[in-house]
Amino acid sequence: MKTIIHIGQHKTGTTSIQHFLQDNRVELGERGLYVPVGIAGYTNPSHFILNVYALGAGRYSSMKEHIVATKGESYLDELEGKLKQDIENTYADAARNGCDRVIWSNEGLYLLNSIAEYERLKDLFAADSEVVCCFRDVASYRASYIKQQRRQNFQPSDDPDSYRYLEPDSWLFDYERKKELLAAVFDQCTYFDYDASDNVKAFLDAIGCGAADTDGYRLNVSPEVE
């Protein structure tokens, strides 16, 4: 059984991709690609709980901040058991349905920033793993990401390790370093360029599931960046 992990990045149509995967999970399953409905009690099309688990101590995403604020730090200690049991059940169900690949998707996984964090993620899955990442040109990605942070009223950070550090030298915009981290951990790395006209199709082509009808799947588009 092969594991495909879609890590985003942010502002590259991830919401559209995730909704397409969920809405078309039956058809994709017939092609051998299993799309999990949920994990650890969460049924959001984005498997955000994976980034909450994989981020190291003292490192955050917006979802990890939310989880800690609402459930407390102790909840993080319970996650590993829940995730591993649900993942085991997911792969068993995929096998029963004749699928040979399982896909997980969350843009927050782009916010992992060390070999240790990506290994923590990979170790959840006892399977051959492929990571898939879209890279938008740096200038437009940075501009769009900054606008997103402002809309959500997130204050920029002066900590270079933070996901809210938005200066040009941020690790968020260092694509070569990101690729080095991923290559050091995963069995296969697939990258594709951002297609503003239909990035869902670009994503499906990248994972070998092209020829699907992606009309109507351009969701969560920022008014400032079309």
Tens digit of each residue's pLDDT, the chain (226 residues): 999 999 989 999 999 999 999 999 999 999 999 999 999 999 999 999 999 999 999 999 999 999 999 999 999 999 999 999 999 999 999 999 999 999 999 999 999 999 999 999 999 997 799 999 999 999 999 999 999 999 999 999 999 999 999 999 999 999 999 999 999 999 999 999 999 989 999 999 999 987 667 776 655 544 333 2
Which domain covers residue 118, as residue numbers? Answer: 2-137+176-206
Query: Is residue 88 included in any domain, yes or no?
Result: yes
CATH number of domain containing 193: 3.40.50
Query: Is residue 196 included in any domain, yes or no?
Result: yes
Query: Is residue 201 included in any domain, yes or no?
Result: yes
CA atoms within 13 A on the CB side of 188: 13
Sheet with 128-135: list strands edge to edge: 33-34, 101-105, 2-6, 128-135, 188-193
Give me the residue label for tokens 């040009």.
Answer: 168
